[in-house]
């Protein structure tokens, strides 16, 4: 009963380093998304995907890349980490984009950029 799995749970990077946050879901959901959560800002959408091979930008995409080669996986890549990217990152999935289906979140990745 895994649901949405994110790795790692914690990460510290130096400015300029790159890394990939992993996200996998085992519910055969079409829709997946990445959010960042900062104090006083709520969750903000970074990128999303409505199905394998299809991705699009959300509200705050700069500095991040995504790909969706399979239905299950939706990795988020930080190209050159900056202190402004220090945040908590959540991956989420829904059965499909529209409608009232609930969105399932992963446990989050706490990322610090020094």
User: Are the beta carbons of 29 and 49 closer than 8 angstroms?
Assistant: no
Site for another protein in 32-91 (CB under 8 A): 33, 35, 40-45, 48, 50, 56, 58, 90
- The encoded tokens of residue 108 equal 């989050």
Site stretch for another protein (CB under 8 A), options 13-21, 60-68, 73-81, 95-103:
95-103
**DSSP annotation of 103:** P
Which of these, 101, 112, 97, 90, lies nearest to 6 by C-alpha position?
A: 90
- Applying CB under 8 A, which residues contact another protein? 31, 33, 35, 40-45, 48, 50, 56, 58, 90, 94, 96-100, 102-103, 105-108
């Amino acid at each position: 009963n895994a649901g949405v799995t994110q790795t790692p749970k914690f990460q510290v990077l130096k400015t300029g380093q790159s890394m990939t946050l992993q996200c996998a879901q085992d519910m055969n959901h079409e829709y997946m998304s990445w959010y960042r959560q900062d104090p006083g800002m709520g969750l903000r959408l970074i990128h999303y995907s409505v199905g394998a091979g299809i991705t699009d930008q959300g509200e705050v995409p700069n500095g991040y890349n995504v790909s969706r080669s399979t239905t299950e996986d939706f990795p988020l890549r930080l190209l050159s980490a900056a202190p402004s990217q220090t945040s908590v990152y959540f991956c989420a999935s829904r059965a499909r984009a529209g409608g009232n289906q609930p969105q399932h979140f992963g446990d989050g990745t706490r990322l610090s950029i020094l």
